[in-house]
Every structure is written in structure tokens, then in C-alpha cells.
Amino acid sequence: MEENYDTTSAFLKVKCNDCENEQPVFSKAASEVKCNICGATLAMPGSGKASIKGQVIGVLDQDG
């Protein structure tokens, strides 16, 4: 899976592969992030930035 988004941004918009729920995920999450709806893993902590397990569909810009 290619990740063309700028994952240095604080929050990514991630879509759950299981239930298609969309929720913001901190790109540098230090703990496992789970889907709010079905509990599927959306992100795992990695070195420096989180490893996104769901589908990154956008970036949430915090400016503004």
C-alpha cells in the first residue's frame, strides 16, 4: 500500500477497513489506535510515526 500523504501532519483521516468508519488518528500515536465503531486496529505505534493499518483518506489540517 502506498502512502502519498504527508504523514508528518499531526492528524490523519483514516478509514476503517472493516466497517468504513472514518476517524482522526494521530500520526505519531504512541499506543495502538482502534476503530471507535468495531474495534479494529487502525494504527500501531512505530519508530517515529505510527504504522497506519486502515486506509488513509486524508489529512486533517490543524491550522484554522
> Cβ closer to Zn ion: 40 or 59?
40
Instruction: Verify binding: residue 50, Zn ion, rule CB under 5 A.
Output: no
Helix (H, G, I), strand (E, B) or coil at 59: strand
Q: Quick one: cell of 19?
A: 466497517
Among 5, 7, 13, 18, binds Zn ion (CB under 5 A): 18
Instruction: Verify binding: residue 37, Zn ion, rule CB under 5 A.
Output: yes
Among 24, 40, 41, 49, binds Zn ion (CB under 5 A): 40
State the Cα–Cα distance between residues 49 and 63, nearest whole angstrom. 20
